[in-house]
Amino acid sequence: MQQRKKSKVSLVGAGPGSEDLITVRGLRVLQSADVILYDALVSTKLLSQVNDSILKIYVGKRCSQHSFTQDDINMLIVENAFKYGHVVRLKGGDPFVFGRAHEEIEYVESFGIPVSIVPGISSALSVPASQGIPMTRRGVSSSFWVMTATKRDGSFSEDLKYASQSSATMVILMGVRKLQEITDEVCKYRGSEIPVAVIQNGTLKNESCTIATLGTIDTCSNNIDISKPGIIVIGNVVAEHPSFFEEEVQRVLHSSL
Is position 99 an interface residue for ligand SAM (rule: CB under 6 A)? Answer: yes
Q: How far apart are CA 246 and CA 119, in angstroms?
A: 37
- Give the C-alpha separation, 74 to 199, whole Å: 31
Nearer to ligand SAM, 203 or 213 (CB): 203
Among 2-10, 180-188, 229-237, 240-248, the segment contacting ligand SAM (CB under 6 A): 229-237
Does 134 help bind ligand SAM (rule: CB under 6 A)?
no
- The active-site residue, picked from 8, 56, 61, 83, is 61
Using CB under 6 A as the binding rule, whether residue 73 contacts ligand SAM is answered as no
Confirm whether 61 is a catalytic residue: yes
- Contacting residue, 199, 209, 214, 217, with ligand SAM by CB under 6 A: 199
Contact flag: residue 26 with ligand SAM (CB under 6 A) = no
17 binds ligand SAM (CB under 6 A): yes
From 8, 56, 159, 174, the catalytic residue: 174
**Piece of the chain touching ligand SAM by CB under 6 A; list 44-52, 79-87, 118-126, 216-224:** 118-126
Residue 229 near residue 192, CB atoms below 8 Å: no
Binding flag, residue 122, ligand SAM (CB under 6 A): yes
Least CB distance from residue 159 to ligand SAM, whole Å? 15
Nearer to ligand SAM, 123 or 216 (CB): 123
Rounded to whole angstroms, the Cα distance separating 220 from 232 reads 13
Catalytic residues: 39, 61, 174
Binding positions for ligand SAM, rule: CB under 6 A:
16-17, 41, 92-94, 97-99, 122-124, 127, 173-174, 199-203, 229-231
